[in-house]
Amino acid sequence: MLKRIKQARAAFSMLDPEEVRKNAERPVNLGLVASSGRGYAEMEDFLLPGGMAHQRRLELMERVHRADDPDPPPTVDLVLYQHGTQSEEGAYTFDRDDPQSTVAQILDDHDELALPLARQFPAFRKPVVDGIIQAVSRENALFAIATALPNVAPNLLELPWAIGEFASDTVFLTANQIRMAFLIAAACGKDAGLGRQKAEVLSIIAAAFGWRALARELVGKIPLGGGLIPKGAIAYAGTFVAGKSLEYFHHANVPYSEEQRGEAYREALERGKQVAESLHAGPPSQ
């Protein structure tokens, strides 16, 4: 018990909500190029929808710069061109018929801007949160598999912390889910941190024990196979459901119901099996 408490303290000491907040609040300046006022307004409304709080929208509009502004900044982080206008190398064309494809292209090229873009511009929020949930779920599946392999382990460089710091799956998985909670809150424009997210953190800690019972029940019904694959699949599914529940909470201001959680877990478990199988197999041989 004492050893587990020490591990938990070590895990929580590695959580750095201040770093998450600093990254998320880094100002991102966007340059817009269009042939008309209507073209500018269309891109502005996509980046900062009218449904936002009025004062917040006004604040963020100061980070969106039209090319014909009287005093534009000398540099911006990204440049977005209206569809049909000639764009420059390194800039992006706004696809009015499929704007999320433009968002995806920007995020593919600028992973370092993902969190601040999501926090400041709602158009980026959903794909960034989805990416956070997928990444942390994969990390937890990898850890669950790695701790069961004494001699051969998958690529541990994918993990956020040194595996030697943890002897307990529960401690690592829970700490990583709390890190995920910080990232999701920051991406959703909310305050991140243990003091600011007490309800979310407590729900994650409680679920760390509760979902194990559900997992044992489901494993008996779903043919995942033996050994490592169920362990990785369960770690993936438990983390994925925690993430989707947090996303739902920040959107609807209410937590998942037990029915929603159970349904999401069953769906995530099958996906977790596929992820665990790919992680266990490792990279293809050259």
pLDDT in tens, 209-249: 665 555 455 555 545 445 567 778 888 998 999 999 999 88
pLDDT at residue 2, rounded to an integer = 44
Name the residue among 183, 228, 210, 223 with its Cα closest to residue 265.
210
Sort strands 92-93 and 78-81 into parallel, antiparallel or unpaired: parallel
Query: How many Cα neighbours within 13 Å face the side chain of 272?
Result: 36
Phi, psi of 136, deg, nearest 5:
-70, -35
pLDDT in tens, 67-122: 999 988 889 999 999 998 887 889 999 999 999 999 999 999 999 999 999 999 99
Residue 32's beta-bridge partner residues?
66, 80
